[in-house]
């Protein structure tokens, strides 16, 4: 065992954090990319809730289990910074996003942005989202081995462009493809081993991608400033907090880059996971479809989506099985403790909801798809306040989680009305954790049009 953190002060009641440093210069990055859950399980088995490791030339602690996660995320003594933690991974690419801010700056930005995610605005968003989803699904060509993740990634980014931006009115399809690639490059740069702008590296591609995105949003900013519409870009240009605070141009660009990444990447993996498990469990696909058909519309309202109870159970179970954000990053800004272990200032913390979601202590048969876990008669997610935390916790809990739920259910609702699909029961998605998790094979499903026209069924 090699400890890489400082020992506790003399006469301290705190324990030193155990752990191992990993491969010199690389640490545990490759081990994480290969199988993060196996890496976390190894740390849990050897060291317990808190252990140390190295990654990207930095000292980290692994924070595992709901008690330890709760302690760091609630951050009652304000010893952990959110922005400092994430900046080590994605700061050069997503700086200024709400997730990378702290203290009074975070509070100011959050108070303004809350005005963009009120229920009344979400209701308008659903109204605009439905025809856009339908238009994009019209382009799908069902087949055996249809690459669902690949198609969904295009759909959700196009949808984000429509709903968040109000469209990209003078951009060509080729330019939009460049923007899509820029988002991917920025996200994948987070786990770069070489973290310098060396040509050909993920880090350099991420930096180049950030410049592409900045230029893209700045091009449209004057038009969005000049007239308020319902799209998020325009809303961010015009909303203000109750105290009258507003975003600057630079802040709007920073938030749009981060929000579009977050809105389409996390939703894509969640819908893709739902398609996989609904394809492997036809009884659940039939159950969800029956509820969607019972709505009598292909263009549901916000309240209609709330009524899709089975789909909600499936979504929550898929968020448990494949956490779109497997770990949350923090950094200790002063000496502190976690679960009785001494954590010196400057230490980075990897808080792992993904591991908690697979702990048999809280989730019986954790690898089994079982949406009833979240049903009122069971509510396994209530056995611990932090047993299920796909949107994080504390003051940095995801502000857009309700939007995410609306988007996911609106898309899957239309999928259920239009299509039937099958996935081999033995299929295991080959998840790539180079950035946020995604199936490296594009998520093949055998997709078929439903025999009855969905428009006729939905009236």
Output the tens digit of pLDDT for each of the chain's 459 residues: 555 688 898 888 999 999 987 776 677 788 888 899 999 999 999 999 999 998 877 889 999 999 999 999 999 999 999 999 998 888 899 999 999 999 999 999 999 999 888 889 889 889 989 999 999 999 999 999 999 999 999 899 888 888 888 777 788 888 888 888 898 888 888 778 788 899 999 999 999 999 999 999 999 999 999 988 888 899 999 998 888 889 999 999 999 999 888 778 899 999 999 999 999 999 999 999 999 999 999 999 999 999 999 999 999 999 999 999 999 999 999 999 999 999 999 999 999 999 999 999 999 999 999 999 999 999 999 999 999 999 999 999 998 899 999 999 999 999 999 999 999 999 999 999 987 899 999 999 999 999 765 444 443
What per-residue confidence (pLDDT) applies to 452?
Answer: 65
What per-residue confidence (pLDDT) applies to 456?
Answer: 40
What per-residue confidence (pLDDT) applies to 60?
Answer: 93
What per-residue confidence (pLDDT) applies to 3?
Answer: 58
Extract the annotated binding site.
398
Say which CATH number the domain at 71 has: 1.10.630.10
Q: Residue 213 half-sphere exposure, CB side, CA atoms within 13 Å?
A: 31
What per-residue confidence (pLDDT) applies to 291?
Answer: 98
What is the model's pTM?
0.92
What per-residue confidence (pLDDT) applies to 457?
Answer: 43
What per-residue confidence (pLDDT) applies to 5?
Answer: 82
Domain extent for 110: 2-458
What per-residue confidence (pLDDT) applies to 4?
Answer: 64
What per-residue confidence (pLDDT) applies to 400?
Answer: 87
What per-residue confidence (pLDDT) applies to 458?
Answer: 41
- What's the number of domains the chain is made of? 1
What per-residue confidence (pLDDT) applies to 194?
Answer: 83
Extract the annotated binding site for heme.
398
């Amino acid at each position: 065992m090699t400890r890489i953190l400082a020992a506790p002060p003399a006469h301290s009641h705190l324990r030193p954090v155990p752990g191992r440093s990993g491969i010199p210069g690389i640490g545990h990055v490759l081990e994480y990319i290969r199988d993060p859950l196996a890496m976390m399980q190894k740390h849990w088995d050897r060291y317990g809730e808190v252990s140390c490791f190295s990654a990207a030339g930095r000292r980290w602690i692994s924070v595992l289990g709901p008690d330890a996660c709760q302690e760091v995320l609630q951050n009652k003594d304000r010893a952990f910074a959110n922005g400092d933690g994430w900046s080590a991974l994605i700061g050069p690419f997503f700086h200024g996003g709400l997730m990378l801010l702290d203290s009074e700056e975070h509070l100011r930005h959050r108070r303004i942005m809350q005005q963009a995610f009120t229920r009344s605005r979400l209701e308008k968003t659903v109204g605009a989202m439905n025809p856009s989803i339908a238009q994009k699904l019209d382009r799908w060509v069902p087949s055996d081995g249809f690459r669902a993740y690949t198609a969904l990634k295009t759909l959700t980014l196009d949808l984000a462009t429509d709903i968040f931006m109000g469209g990209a009115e003078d951009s060509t399809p080729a330019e939009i493809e460049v923007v899509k690639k820029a988002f991917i490059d920025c996200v994948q740069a987070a786990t770069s081993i070489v973290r310098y702008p060396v040509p050909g590296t993920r880090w350099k591609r991420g930096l180049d991608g950030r410049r592409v995105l900045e230029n893209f949003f700045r091009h449209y900013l004057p038009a969005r400033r000049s007239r308020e519409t319902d799209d998020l870009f325009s809303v961010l240009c015009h909303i203000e907090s109750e105290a009258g605070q507003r975003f600057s141009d630079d802040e709007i660009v920073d938030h749009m880059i981060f929000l579009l990444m977050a809105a389409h990447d996390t939703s894509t993996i969640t819908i893709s996971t739902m398609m996989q498990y609904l394809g492997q469990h036809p009884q659940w696909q039939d159950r969800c479809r029956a509820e969607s058909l019972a709505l009598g519309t292909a263009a549901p309202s916000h309240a209609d989506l709330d009524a899709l109870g089975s789909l909600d159970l499936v979504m929550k179970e898929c968020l448990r099985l494949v956490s779109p954000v497997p770990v949350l990053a923090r950094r200790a800004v002063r000496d502190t403790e976690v679960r009785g272990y001494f954590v010196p200032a400057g230490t980075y913390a990897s808080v792992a909801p993904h591991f908690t979601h697979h702990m048999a202590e809280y989730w019986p048969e954790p690898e089994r798809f079982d949406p009833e876990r979240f049903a009122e008669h069971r509510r396994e997610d209530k056995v611990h306040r932090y047993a299920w935390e796909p949107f994080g916790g504390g003051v940095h809990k995801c502000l857009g989680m309700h939007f995410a739920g609306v988007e996911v259910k609106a898309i899957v609702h239309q999928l259920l009305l239009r299509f039937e699909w099958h996935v081999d029961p033995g299929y295991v998605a080959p998840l790539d954790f180079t950035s946020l998790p995604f199936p490296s094979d594009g998520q093949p499903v055998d997709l078929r049009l439903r025999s009855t026209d969905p428009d006729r069924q939905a009236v």
